[in-house]
Amino acid sequence: MVNGRSAGNGLAITGLSAGYGSVRVLEDISLGVSHAETVVLLGTNGNGKSTLMKCVMGMVRPSAGSIVAEIDGTSHDLIGRSTEEIVDLGIALVPEGRRLFPKLTVEENLLLGAFRPSARGAITANLDSCYETFPRLLERRRQLAGSMSGGEQQMLALGRALMSSPRILLIDEPSVGLAPILVSRTIEKIKELKDRFELTVLMAEQNFNQAVRIADRGYVIVHGQIAFEGRDADELNNNELVRKFYLGL
C-alpha cells in the first residue's frame, strides 16, 4: 500500500443531489477532501451521510452534480462508473456496520478486500502490512470474523479496505455499536493509518467529540444539506449548530 504513492489524491463533490425513488435525500451538496487530509462529515441519524458515501462508491446514482476523484495526480469523473471500477481506481469504503463475512475467517475476510486487479499483485505485502498495523488480526487470523469483539471487527473492516491499496478511504460511522473506550481506540487507529499510508480520508460520524479529535476540517450535514463548514477543529467546536446538536450547549 505504501509503495508508489505520490501526492495528488483528493475528492471534489459539487452540487450533488440524490435520493431513493421520489424521496430526496441529498440536496446540492458540495464538499472537498484534499491530499492526505482527514475530513469529517458530521450528522445525526438519517441526514444522508451514508447516501453520500454510496454516491461516491457508485452504489447510489445521483440525480445531479459531479464527483471527481484525483488519484495519484490524475482526475477521474466517478459519475456513471461501477463500484468495482471505483474501487479499482483506488477508493475504498469501510461501510457502516462493517459488513464482514461472519462465517469466514479473519484472513479470508482480508483477502476478499484485495479484488482490485492492481492490488492482487500486492496481496502478500498488503497482508503483512495489515498484520503489522493490527497485530490482533494476526493473532486471530484463523478465527471466524463473527466471533470477534466489535472493536476487533472494526479493525478487520479497516484492514479489509486497506487490502485494496486505496488512496482515498471513506469510513462510514466507525463508532457505531462500540463501547466508548473502543470508539476512542478505533479513532486513534484511523489517525495512525492515515499517517502511515498517507491516506486521504472522508469519515462520516455522529460522535462529534471523537471525530473532531482527528479532523483537519469538517462539514455538518442536516437534512441532506451542508449546514456548516468548519475550516478546522476549533471552528467546528465553536459553531452554534454543533454546540446545539452535538454538545448540548
Q: Is residue 210 at the binding interface for ligand ADP, with CB under 6 A as the rule?
A: no
Member of 6, 7, 15, 46 binding ligand ADP (CB under 6 A): 46
Rounded to 10 degrees, the C-alpha dihedral 237/169/37/184 comes to: 40
Candidate segments 44-52, 65-73, 131-139, 181-189, binder of ligand ADP by CB under 6 A = 44-52
Grid coordinates representing 45 are 441519524
> For ligand ADP, which is the closer residue by CB, 168 or 221?
221
Q: Is residue 154 at the binding interface for Mg ion, with CB under 5 A as the rule?
A: no
* Secondary structure letter of residue 144 according to DSSP: B
Candidate segments 49-57, 101-109, 155-163, 225-233, binder of Mg ion by CB under 5 A = 49-57
41 contacts 19 by C-beta, under 8 angstroms:
no
Give the shortest CB-107-to-ligand ADP separation in angstroms. Answer: 30
For residue 46, the partner it binds in ligand ADP, Mg ion, none, with Cβ less than 5 to 8 A by kind, is: ligand ADP
Member of 50, 109, 129, 153 binding Mg ion (CB under 5 A): 50
84 contacts 92 by C-beta, under 8 angstroms:
no
Q: What Å distances lie between residue 68 and 9, 25, 83, CA to CA?
A: 11, 20, 14
Grid coordinates representing 196 are 502511515
97 contacts 154 by C-beta, under 8 angstroms:
no
Positions touching ligand ADP (CB under 6 A) are 20, 23, 25, 43, 45-51
